[in-house]
Amino acid sequence: MRRVRYEHTGGPLFLEEAPEPVAGPGELLVRPEAIGVTLPVVRKVTEAAEPIPLGGEVAGEVVAVGEGVTRFRAGDRVTGLAFGHAYADLALLHESMASPIPDGAGAVDAVALVRSGLVALGALEAARPVPGESALVTAAASGIGHLAVQLARLRGASRVVGAVSGSGKTAFVRALGADEVVTYDTDGWGTPVDYALDAVGGDLLTPAIGALAPGGRLVAYSSGGGTVRAYDLLVGARSVTGFQMARVAREDPERYERWRQELWRLFTQGALRPAVHGEFALEDAASAHAAIESRGNLGKVVLRP
C-alpha cells in the first residue's frame, strides 16, 4: 500500500510502499476515503526531534476488525482519530476512537465535522457559556475555529468576534455568523468579551486574555504553548482553563458520544456547516501541509487517497 512519511525534522513528505497493517486487539483496519490534516501534526513534522507517524482524522470503510471489537464489523463506515499512520491507503483506528458515519453523510463531511467539531464543542462547554454572553474565537477560519464560531452562536452568544491572521479571511468568518472580525496585529480587539476560545497560544495568549471582560474566561486548547502572566488574570479576576479532547474520549466516553450525536444532529438540520478549504491527493500531502503552515486555509484541509 502507499503511505506518506518523512525522514528528518522539517524534511519533505514523500510516498512510499509499505506493508499493509493488520488489525490488532481492539483495532479497526480502515480504508480511508478522506483524511483530515491537523495543525498539531503539521507542527510536529517541523518541530519534533524525531520523525513521527503522520496521524490524523480518517473516514472510510472498515476492512477488518481485530480481536475483541464488538461495535463494528467489516463494511461499516466510520470516522475517528488515527494515532499511527493515517496518511495511507489503509489505517488502523482504535475502536474507542471510532464513530459511525450516518447514512447520507460523506467521508469529507465526516472528517470536517466530527473531530474538529468535538474539539470546538468541548472547548465551548469548558467555557460554561450563558445565553446572551459575548464570545471570541481565535483561528476563527481554521478547521476547528470555523465550527466554534457557529457553535458559539448556536449556544446563544449575543455577539461573536472572530480573530484571524489576515484580513483576507474576514468575509469567510462573517459568513459563518461572526459579528466582528479582528486581525491578530490589531491594537486592542474591540469591546471586551465574556469568554474566549483560543486555538493559537504562544504570543497570542496575552492579547486574548486582554480581550476578556472582568470575570471573563479563556479556554486554551492549542498545541502552540505560551505563557500566562498571573497579573493579567488578577486584573479583572479573569481565568484560564485548559481543554484536551483525548482526555474526554478516554475518561468520559458517554459525554464524547453525546457531543458526537449533537454535531450530527446540527449538521443534519443544516444548522452547522463544515467548510473544506481544499481536497488534496495523497501524493500532494506537502501542499496540504503548506496550506495550514501559511495560515491560508478557510476551513478544513483534507487528503483524498
pLDDT in tens, 185-202: 988 898 999 999 999 999
Q: Is the pLDDT of residue 222 over 90?
A: no
Residue-level pLDDT at 188: 85
Mean pLDDT to the nearest integer, 237-242: 95
Mean pLDDT to the nearest integer, 225-243: 90
Residue-level pLDDT at 264: 94
Residue-level pLDDT at 275: 95
The backbone region for 40, taken as left when phi is positive above 0, alpha when psi lies in -120 to 50, beta otherwise, is alpha
Q: Is the pLDDT of residue 101 over 80?
A: yes
Do the Cβ atoms of 154 and 166 come closer than 8 Å? no
Residue-level pLDDT at 231: 87
Q: Is the pLDDT of residue 223 over 80?
A: no
Residue 279: pLDDT band with limits 50, 70, 90: very high
C-alpha cell at 140: 476563527
Query: Yes or no: is domain 117-245 CATH 3.30.1180.20?
Result: no
The overall average pLDDT reported for the chain is: 94
pLDDT digits (tens, 9 = 90+) for 140-187: 999 999 999 999 999 999 999 999 999 999 999 999 999 999 999 988
Mean pLDDT to the nearest integer, 264-281: 95
Residue 12: pLDDT band with limits 50, 70, 90: very high
Q: Is the pLDDT of residue 48 over 90?
A: no
Q: What is the DSSP string of 235-294?
A: TTT-EEEE--HHHHHHH-HHHHHHHHHHHHHHHHTTS----EEEEEEGGGHHHHHHHHHT
Residue-level pLDDT at 40: 86
Q: Is the pLDDT of residue 114 over 80?
A: yes
The backbone region for 132, taken as left when phi is positive above 0, alpha when psi lies in -120 to 50, beta otherwise, is left
Pick the CATH number of 2-101+275-304 from 3.40.50.300, 3.90.180.10, 3.40.50.10090, 3.40.190.10: 3.90.180.10
Quote the CA–CA distance of 208 and 145 in Å, as a whole number: 15
Domains of the chain, by residue range, sit at 2-101+275-304, 117-245
